[in-house]
Amino acid sequence: MHKKNSKRRWIIITVIVLVLTNAASLFIGSNYLLSPNGSVSVDNNTYNEIMKFKKLFAIRDELYKYYDGKIDDNALVTGAIKGMTSALNDPYTVYMDQQETKDFNSQIQGEEYVGLGMQVEAKDNKVVVVTAFDDSPAQKAGIKSGDAIVKVNGTDVTGKDLDKAVAMMKGKAGTSVKVTIYRAGKGTFDITATRQSIVMNTVTGEMLSNNIGYIQMSMFDENTGANFNKKMAELKAQGMKALILDLRDNPGGLLTACVDVTSNFVPKDKTIVSMIDKNNSKEVYKSKGGDYIGMPLVVLVNENTASASEIFSGAIRDYKLGTLVGVKTFGKGIVQNVFDTGNGTQLKVTISKYYTPNGENIHHKGIKPDIEIKYPDNLKNLPYDRDTDPQFKKALEIIKSKVK
């Protein structure tokens, strides 16, 4: 995902907002719009585009005539814009209000937030739990990877409502939130958890035996690149000669952070990822070079390894720089940009498809690992134990054979 601020306004949105504040001021004809500040002349194409939305204005007037309750024009405008993005049926294209924008930015910037401490993603039009952080309210309440969140405090949520669901689960420390869960084999049930401060630490690691390093990366936020380099330097100082990088349940994040991490292993100026937008414009991101090119590497992936994690995995696979172990990845081969839409709001929109160095778009397909090993279902409901994890054990076996 790109993160980019822009002060551009779409003229259609601007005029809609203007007219919604005074619907009676709309004058149809001669390509003029009469606003409270005077008439505005528009060209034929723009005028015709605006007139497609006249039903929206008519509905607003009917609400003012007949609705027996309080009407907030700002709420109507927000609802109309959210409706437009929702109609695209793309869970990654969303309009975020002020609170949703604040929550979204706190996550990608790696800031502390108050919530339940879990990662979720949109999958099959459901809000699905990727992972519950260790010792988090979510984990303590019994929420597990693979659970589908169907309601938050009684409000239905689907994959289209991903950002809304995340915002609803955040709040003040010490307050509770009721989450309705659907779990395969158990059905639907309620869980109540108490919000607490969550400090995001996306990079953790340690030295194993035989000079093998192990790093787990939970997502790519603004601090991930620097924290990854710091952890790699620590492990190298302890004698690391090979690395197991665990990207299981990593939903992705910032493209810039992904390029920083991937550059550690890909020779300088080699393509890491390329993106092509709707106008067939191509943008290529190349390796900056790093200190660990040629280091033996095994990457653990699973069905929740997505987006930026798949960009990393695709580069490692295409250049044959390491071994992928696990199961086929999620399959998110599209990129989003974030635009500033004023007053503390933002629009996150899918802008392009991305391609691995070999030119493959993995959207809805995923990346098949070099060695496929499934994590047993009977272990998913038990506390994690590395000694019984067949994917980790295979990764360790492979990396040991590469250490000289």
Q: Would you call 35 a catalytic residue per the annotation?
A: no
106, 307, 309, 352: which is the annotated catalytic residue?
A: 307
Cα–Cα distance for residue pair 137/133, rounded to 1 Å: 8
3, 332, 348, 394: which is the annotated catalytic residue?
A: 332
Q: Would you call 249 a catalytic residue per the annotation?
A: no
147, 318, 348, 389: which is the annotated catalytic residue?
A: 318
Count of C-beta atoms within a 10 Å radius of residue 86: 16
- Whose tokens are 């690149």? That residue is 225
- CA 382, 386, 388 angle in degrees (round to 5)? 65
Cα–Cα distance for residue pair 388/381, rounded to 1 Å: 13
Cα–Cα distance for residue pair 123/304, rounded to 1 Å: 10
Token code pair at residue 199 = 């400090």
Burial 275-311 (b: 16+ CB within 10 A, else e): bbeeeeeeeebbbeebebeebbbbbbbbbbbbbbbbb
- CA 86, 92, 93 angle in degrees (round to 5)? 50
Q: Would you call 318 a catalytic residue per the annotation?
A: yes
Residue 14 CB partners (closer than 8 Å, separation 6+): none
Three-state DSSP class for residue 400: helix
Which residues form the catalytic set?
307, 318, 332
